[in-house]
Amino acid sequence: MSTATLNIDLEAIADNWRALASIAQVETAAVVKANGYGLDAGRVGKHLAAAGARQFFVAVAEEGVALRRAIGSGPSISVFSGHMAGDADIISGAHLTPILNSVDQMLRHVEALPGHPFGLQLDTGMNRLGMEPAEWSALRDIALAQNPTLIMSHLACADDPSHPMNEIQRAAFDDMTHGLDVPRSLSATGGILMGANYHYDMVRPGIGLYGGLPFADAKPVVTLDIPVIQVREVAVGETVGYSNAWTAKVPSKVATISAGYADGLIRSMGAKAIVHADGVAVPVIGRVSMDLITVDVTTLAKMPESVQLLGTHQTVEDVAEFAGTIGYEILTNLGARYNRIWQT
């Protein structure tokens, strides 16, 4: 097989969900947007539902439709983008719960789908989605009369527990929701780890389910093994790859492996990246190209049939660091060409 193999451990995702639920001790949802962070929202959702998850979140209504087909009629599916123009039939047909972000969305929803469940998002300082305090103050009584199922906000700096913005947002959320008899939610993975003051009635872990930071105790979820197509000897002074980006300083052996930026392996990771061959670290050399990456295997006693980028020896966060990015980007960019194997 010439394509790389991506193993996805669904039970590890479920174990991470259970661990975060145990920390939070409140209703624990599961965020499966962006196709389950690139790992197949349908399969991830079904496995988490079997593990006990009853609340799911997606980014847009179309994702909700696909998830509903996979997990059936029982669990709740909420849509972060709210009720967009033209979404009424989708929301109604798939029994989705839009999280309304503005007065316009509120009006659209109650006019198109009177009595249909909805949640509300408040902006507590991130300035991305949700009703700002003045807007909320004007709409509050009208919105509450429609019986929202949830009021939520989102933390901007939860990856840094010491950041003062966390407490500013928590205080703002308390102020905007004080005395309301509606379930409240403020925290995703980072907020869960900051303690009970951030948990409220529901938490919404995302990246922590899939093995990413800031949940350092997460079980690893993915392994990525990439076939070696060819190994060649490179003499001193010869170059490898586009733009002659790497020059051999000693007689070298170079393996060309079958993956590249078309497979989501970000081009900027090349200068710092390593892979592992039978547990031994070997460096990526030269440029990451569309379909191929070159690796210096000179130090290996035996030439490998494949190398591992993600797995036992390095996580999605390690690979993200090679490229100067975050684990979210690595996961959600994993390409369509991989031979995917889901393990339960």
Alpha-carbon gap, residue 139 to 102, rounded angstroms = 9
Using CA atoms, how far apart are residues 67 and 46, in angstroms rounded to an integer? 9
Q: Which of 46, 198, 219, 242 is catalytic?
A: 242
Average pLDDT over residues 38-59: 97
What pLDDT shows up at residue 270?
A: 83
Contact 20, 199 (CB under 8 A): no
Tokens representing residue 42 in the block: 């349908």
The active-site residue out of 33, 37, 210, 328 is: 33
Q: Which fold has domain 222-343?
A: Lyase, Ornithine Decarboxylase; Chain A, domain 1 (2.40.37)
Q: Has 219 been annotated as catalytic?
A: no
Parts of the chain belonging to CATH 2.40.37.10: 222-343
* Chosen CATH of 10-210 out of 3.40.50.300, 3.20.20.10, 3.90.1150.10, 3.40.50.410: 3.20.20.10
Amino acid sitting at position 118: F
The answer on pLDDT for 215 being more than 90 is: yes
pLDDT tens column, 244-268: 999 999 999 999 999 999 999 999 9
State residue 1's pLDDT score.
Answer: 65
DSSP state letter for 196:
G
Rg of the chain over all Cα atoms, to the nearest angstrom: 23
Exposed, middle or buried by CB within 10 Å (0-12, 13-18, 19+), for 298? middle
Mark whether 242 is an active-site residue: yes
Helix (H, G, I), strand (E, B) or coil at 156: coil
Q: Report pTM.
A: 0.94
Q: How many CB atoms lie within 10 A of CB 139?
A: 17
Please name the residue that has the structure tokens 């190209």. 289
Tokens read off for 76 = 């709740």
What residues does CATH 3.20.20.10 cover in the chain?
10-210
Q: How far apart are CA 267 and CA 293, in angstroms?
A: 10
